[in-house]
Chains A and B, each alone.
Chain A
Amino acid sequence: MEKIVNELESRFGLLSHREQRADLGEVCIRAEKTVNVLEWLKNHTGYVHLTHFSVVDWLEENEFQLTYLVTDPDAHHTLMVSARIDREKAEAESIHALWPEAVTYEQEFNEMYGIAFPGSPRQGVEFLLEGWNAMPPMRRDFDTVEYCNETYEFRPGRVHVDPKEVRMKFQAEQKRLAEEQKQREEATANSNEPEPQP
């Protein structure tokens, strides 16, 4: 892992790198360099398999993280190459010229996250959802509960009582009864009090 990290650092410059396990490492790069790095890894080193390609939505930081997992099948090592792109202008370079199966991933992310991969075939073609008319659903600001309440009907009759509320009410009631009892006892004690001695 050291060797590949040093070479990547010297050729392209890394933002950070770390090792997760013996067979898994992560490097973070700038988004503009993604295709260069992957092309170098595929054609000039042993990392020829695209094992996976994923997107993580960091809503709080207003960024999408694209992670490409490339594997060296002979050295049994996987490298996670992560790059961050802006969430508003969600666009990234397509890698379908390097690996043809990336077309499916890019089609799905276009549909699910709204990220555009210019030049990739099948962008905008429906993959998993049919006739979808709301915002891209895998984004973290898409509220599934709200969507379900607006779109679907529920069978009536579900009523939930919160045990905490029942306990609090019960305790409040017990406290009120205890205070009333105390007040009544004080009133009786007052009326039974002997007259003060002259």
Chain B
Amino acid sequence: MSYIPTAEERESGACRLSYRTREEERVGLKHVLKPFSAWLKAFSAPYTVPIQETLRQASDNYRGWHVNQIDACTGCGNCADICMNVAIDMVPVVETTKKDTGLRPRIDYGRCCWCGLCVDICATGSLGLSDSYVWIDSDADSFRYTPGQDAKPWDESQRGWRKQRKQKAKEAA
């Protein structure tokens, strides 16, 4: 059984043999007319959404652009360690103290894949993903920013992917 089909297989037309009966393959007038029942759907509401008027709001859990609370973040660097695409750099933003290294994460959207691992591992829960998903800019270098430090329109968003407090807290409540 060689890889290229043999001459017999080619001639016998392994593609031409059929397991169907003539009856099953019959095509009649009803098969020409039945598709026209789709015209009845011309009067139903369309599926599409007019995007000029309303930008579609993302879900509550959506993984959009990053937000960070600069005061709550302690610069531990967990997010930079877990990021599987090396998208996060820690850069100095505030002064170093005993509990705070003074560094804050800077995200590079050329590499980020929005998996949310940085949010899940955040030691203080300050890092989050908002529900905003539109960002248009002509300067390519602006897509590398420090959330919370560089002000963005989605900084106040309360929705999006945030770190969940442990199950125990939920069950205790």
Contact = CB atoms under 8 A, between A and B. Distances in A.
Q: Answer whether A and B are interacting partners.
A: yes
Contact of A163 (B3, B90, B98, B140): B90
Interface string A141-171: 0000000000000010111111110110010
A54 B42 CA distance: 53
A170 B98 CA distance: 8
A161 B92 contact: yes
Contacts of B77: 162-164
Interface size class of A (residues with CB under 8 A): 10 to 19
B103 A161 contact: yes
Contacts of A155: 110, 140-141
A73 interface: no
Interface in B95-120: 96, 98, 101-103, 108, 110
Given A161-B90, A161-B103, A100 B2 contact: yes
A159 to B, nearest CB: 6
A166 B103 contact: yes
A97 interface: yes
Contacts of A162: 77, 90
A120 to B, nearest CB: 9
B2 A158 contact: no
Interface in B1-18: 1-3
A103 B110 CA distance: 38
Given A159-B89, A160-B89, A161-B92, A167 B101 contact: yes
A17 interface: no
A157 B101 contact: no
A96 interface: yes
B144 A157 contact: yes
Which of A96, A157, A161 has the most chain B CB within a 10 Å cutoff? A161
A121 interface: yes
Nearest to B144: A157
Nearest to A171: B98
B75 interface: yes
A132 B89 CA distance: 32
Interface of B: 1-3, 75-77, 80, 89-92, 96, 98, 101-103, 108, 110, 140-141, 144
12 contacts: A96-B3, A100-B2, A158-B108, A159-B91, A160-B80, A160-B91, A163-B76, A163-B90, A164-B77, A166-B103, A170-B101, A174-B98
